[in-house]
Chains A and B, each alone.
Chain A
C-alpha cells in the first residue's frame, strides 16, 4: 500500500505543526500525541516520513551512516559507494523486548562461529528517521526510560551480553497514547519536547471529506499521490528553507524574558519547558519565514511545549491547555 500524502490529511493542524517543527529542529525532542484511536496519529507521522526526500547512506552500512560522517559507526563502514534510502520509519510494537529495541548479540554468529557480534535493534533502524510508538503509556517502563534516554542523547549505548558498543541513534520520537488508558509518569512526559492533543474531527463535513479522500486513495493510490504532490513539495521546501534559516533566526532578549515569565506563571517544572518553548518558537518562526522570534510565535507554541509539564493537581478539573491560555491572557493580554 503506498502511503497517504501528508498534505491530504484533513485538519489536525496542531499535530501537523508539531511534526513539522520536530522535522526542522531535531533537538526539540520527541512529540507526544494524546488522543483516541482512529484520529490519524500514525498516518500523519508515517506520511511525513514518506514525504521527506531520501537520505544518502553508506552502502551496506547497518547503521544508516552519512557518507560524510561515519566516524562514530561501530562497523568497519568503509564502502565508497553511496546509496539513497527512504527516510526510515520504525513502528515500535507494544510488547517489544529490550533486545529488539537496543539490539543484541548476534545469535547466529555467536552459535555457529563463536564470534561476538552486535546485531542492531530498532534504534539503529530508526537512525536519521522516525520512531513511532503507539500506546506508549502501555509500554514497559524500563523500555520507555531507555527510549527517551537514547532520544535525548542521540546515541545508543549497549553494555550487555558482554558487548560494549555505542552507535548514533538520532530520530524523531513520536509517541501516542490515550490518557484514559493509563498515564505516563510525569518524569517521562517531561522528556518529550512537544505534546499535542488530537480529537476526532467532529464536524460532519470534515468526516465526509476524510472518507472521500481515503476512497480516492484506495481506488488509485498513484493518481492520488500525484494530485497531492504539489502540496507535499511545498511543505518539503518549507522544511528545507526553515532548516537553513534556523541558525540565523534572532531571539530578542525581550522574547526570552517573555518565555521565562510565562513558564513561571504556569508553574512548569524544570528548565526543559523554557528551552523547548524557545527552540519551538524559533523553529516556528523559521517555518513561517520570519527573521526574528516574536510574542506571537511564543503564544502559538506555548500549549504544545508546556501542556504536559504542568504539575497535575488531582482535584483540579481544569485542563492544562486552559491553564496555559489563561496565563497567556493575563501576561500578554
Chain B
C-alpha cells in the first residue's frame, strides 16, 4: 500500500498534532486516533502523561449510560444511608475536561450526544480511540464533526519515533497573529475543492495553523503552517479528490492586498498560486479508505449515524412503557419508583419493628423491592433489496426494481422501517444504499445504479447475508427481496464459469437459508425459469415469478410476505 516514508510522515504529523492537542485540548474539541496497535498505545500513554500533569484524565467505559455520565442518585448507597446520596457524573468529575473514549466506533448515540453537547459548551475535549477496521465503521459523526484532529495510525510501526518524541519541547511562542485574508481564502478554497462543506473544519484549520506556527516559534502563520493544517484537519474529511470547477477561482481568492499586508512571505512561492500547492499536499494525505469510498460511489456523509439510526432494541431502555419487573437499576435499566415503593409497602411495619433505629427512617426499602421499568419497542423492519443488475436482466427490469424500492421507501416513510439496496453485476456485489429511511439518499443511490455485465449471484447473496446479519445485531427484522433470474455465471473470485458459479451460489444460499429469514425471490427473467425457482427452494423463500414486474405489484408482494411472517 503506502510506502514507509509516507507512513513515517503520517506518524510524525500525528505526533505533532497530539502535542498541540496536549497543550490546548479544548480549542480542538478532541483528537481521534484511528488504528489500534502498540504505536497508538505508546502515543496515548505519552499524551496522557502530559495531560495528567494538570489532573486525572477519565476513561469512559463503553457501556456507560447517560445517568453515569451526567450524575444521579446512587441508589444502593441511598437505601443504605437512609438519605439521598448523589453520585457525580463522569463529566462533572472530569475536572480537567479531558476524557478518553476507547472503542469509540461502538459508542452509543445517546452517549455521543451528551459528549458532543459538552464539547459545544467548550467544557470538554475527548480523545477518541477508534478501533474500526471496516470502511463503514467510524465513531459517531456528531463527535467526529466536533473534533478537529483526525489521526490515522493504521500501519504505523515506528515505536521508537513515539518513544523518543518529546511532547514538552518548544513551549509556545507567546501569541500568534491572526491569519491574513489570503490565508483564510486558501483554507476556504481548499475546503471547497475537497468537498468539505461544514464550517467547523474551517475554524479548526485556522486554529491548528496558529498553534502550528506558535510551536514552530513563529509569530506569523506561514504557508508551512497552513499546509499542516490542511493535511491534518481538512484532508481526512475530504469527500472527493480536489477539484476546481473553474480555473478563475484561484485567482479570485487571491486578493490584491497580499502585498499591502506587509507579511514576509517566502519569495519562492510567488509564482505558484497558493491553492495549487496546498491542494497537491491534501490529495496525497487523503487516507486510502476515503478513496475506496469515492471509487465505490459511496459517500461518507452521515454514514455514522445513518448506518446506526436503526435503534438498539433494549427493551429495558426505551419504547412505550410496559410496566415493571424486579431488578436492580443501572446499566441502562431505570428504577420504577412507584412500583418499588408499592412492593415495599406491605413490609413496612415488620421492617420497622425489626430495625434497631425504630422510626428514624420513614420508609424501609430493601434491594429485593426494587423494580425496573420495562418497555416495549416495536421491532423495526429492514427490507434488503438485492438486485441482479447484470446484462441478462435487461435494463428495463432494473428500472422496475428501482421503482419498487422507491415505493417501499415511501411505505417505510410512514411505517418507520428501513430499506437497503444491493446491486450485483460484473465481478461483484455493491451496497448502493446502506439501510436508510431517507428518501433523498435513496433517490440518489437508485439514480446511480448501473446495469450490465455478468451475474455474480453468490457475491450478491453474501452481501445480502452480511447486511441482514448486521441489521439483526441492531435488533431489526430483515427481509431479503432478491430480484434475479437465478442464472449466476460469475464466481466469488470474479472468474466467469457458469456451472461452478451456480454451485457456489447454492452453497451460499444454503447458509443463508439457515438464518431463517423472511425471503422473497422475484424471478425477473422474461419467462419464469427453473433456476430461480430452484434457488428459491434452496433459500427456503417465497418464489414469485413476475415476468413483468410492475413496481406496485412488487411492493405489494413483499408487503404480503411481510404480513404473513408477522402473524
Contacts and interface: CB of A to CB of B under 8 A. Distances in A.
B392 to A, nearest CB: 27
A211 B206 contact: yes
A112 B253 contact: no
By Cβ-Cβ distance, the 8 closest A-B pairs, closest first, are: A95-B110, A38-B198, A94-B113, A207-B188, A108-B84, A1-B122, A314-B410, A200-B197
Contacts of A1: 121-122
Interface size of A as a range: 35 or more
B110 A181 contact: no
Interface in A106-159: 107-108, 110-114, 134-135, 138, 140-142
Contacts, number: 178
B439 A219 contact: no
A37 B110 CA distance: 17
A78 to B, nearest CB: 26
23 contacts: A38-B201, A40-B199, A94-B109, A108-B78, A111-B73, A113-B362, A138-B305, A140-B318, A161-B337, A181-B436, A182-B306, A185-B413, A186-B414, A200-B197, A204-B188, A208-B181, A210-B199, A210-B203, A211-B202, A214-B203, A219-B178, A314-B413, A314-B439
A162 interface: yes
A97 B329 CA distance: 15
B108 A95 contact: yes
A312 B198 contact: no
Interface string B424-443: 00000000000011111101
A36 interface: yes
Nearest to A179: B440
B145 A38 contact: yes
Interface in B86-134: 108-114, 116-117, 120-122
A97 B181 CA distance: 46
Interface string B199-223: 1111100110000000000000000
Given A91-B117, A202-B192, A111 B440 contact: no
A207 B197 CA distance: 10
B184 interface: yes
B84 A181 contact: no
A215 interface: yes
Contacts of A200: 197-199
B145 A107 contact: no
Interface in B298-313: 301-302, 305-306, 309, 311
Given A105-B338, A112-B83, A314-B410, A207 B66 contact: no
A108 B184 contact: no
B457 to A, nearest CB: 29
B406 interface: yes
A99 interface: yes
A318 B431 CA distance: 26
Given A113-B362, A215-B178, A181 B66 contact: no
Nearest to B187: A211
Contacts of A216: 178
* Interface residue SS majority, chain B: helix
B64 to A, nearest CB: 12
A216 to B, nearest CB: 8
A38 B66 contact: no
B185 A204 contact: yes
A140 B311 CA distance: 9
Interface residues of B, number: 78
Nearest to B210: A215
B517 interface: no
A39 interface: yes
B141 interface: yes
Interface string A180-205: 11110110000000000000111010
A201 B200 CA distance: 12
Contacts of B441: 180
B142 interface: yes
A81 interface: no
B84 A207 contact: no
B302 A180 contact: yes
Contacts of B527: none
Interface string B301-338: 11001100101000000111100000000000011011
A178 B410 CA distance: 18
Contact of A111 (B66, B110, B363): B363
Contacts of B512: none
Contacts of A314: 406-407, 409-410, 413, 439
B365 interface: yes
Contacts of B413: 183, 185-186, 312, 314
A138 B307 CA distance: 12
B189 A204 contact: yes
B110 A39 contact: no
A294 interface: no
A315 B406 contact: yes
B51 interface: no
A330 interface: no
Contacts of A134: 113, 142
B318 A211 contact: no
Nearest to B361: A112
A218 B206 CA distance: 12
Given A161-B338, A180-B441, A37 B200 contact: yes
Nearest to A42: B120
Contact of B443 (A37, A141, A210, A317): A317
Contacts of A218: 27, 207
B184 A211 contact: yes
A114 B338 CA distance: 11
A162 B341 CA distance: 11
Contacts of A96: 66, 110
B127 to A, nearest CB: 21
B369 to A, nearest CB: 11
A257 interface: no
A210 B202 contact: yes
A91 B116 CA distance: 11
B83 A180 contact: no
B458 interface: no
A289 interface: no
B142 A112 contact: no
